[in-house]
Amino acid sequence: MHKRDAVFLEDLCPKLRDRRWRKSLHEYTGKSCIYCGKNSESIDHVLPRSKGGLSITENCVPACLSCNGSKTDNNAFEWYRKQRFYDPRRSMAIRAWTEGDIRLALRLLKWAEPKRTENIEKSKSLLNEDYSWQAA
Ligand SMILES: [Zn+2]
> How many A from CA of 8 to the centre of ligand 1?
35
Q: State the pTM of this model.
A: 0.77
CA of 36 to the centre of ligand 1 (A): 4
User: Quick one: DSSP state of residue 83?
Assistant: S
Per-residue pLDDT tens digits for 103-121: 999 999 999 876 655 555 6
Which residues have a Cβ under 8 Å from the Cβ of 29 and sit 6 or more positions away?
A: 40, 62, 106, 109, 116, 119, 120, 123
How far does residue 63's CA lie from ligand 1's centre (Å)? 5
User: 56 CA distance to ligand 1 centroid (A)?
Assistant: 20
pLDDT tens per residue across span 71-108: 998 999 999 999 999 999 999 999 999 999 999 999 99
Judged by DSSP in three states, 84 sits in coil
C-alpha to C-alpha distance for 21 and 114, rounded to whole angstroms: 26
Ligand 1 is an ion; its neighbours by CB within 5 Å are 33, 35-36, 38, 64, 67
Write the pLDDT tens digit of every residue in 2-46.
Answer: 666 666 777 778 888 889 999 999 999 999 999 999 999 999 999
The secondary structure of 22-59, three-state, reads HHHHHHHCCCECCCCCCECCEEEECCCHHHCCCCCHHH
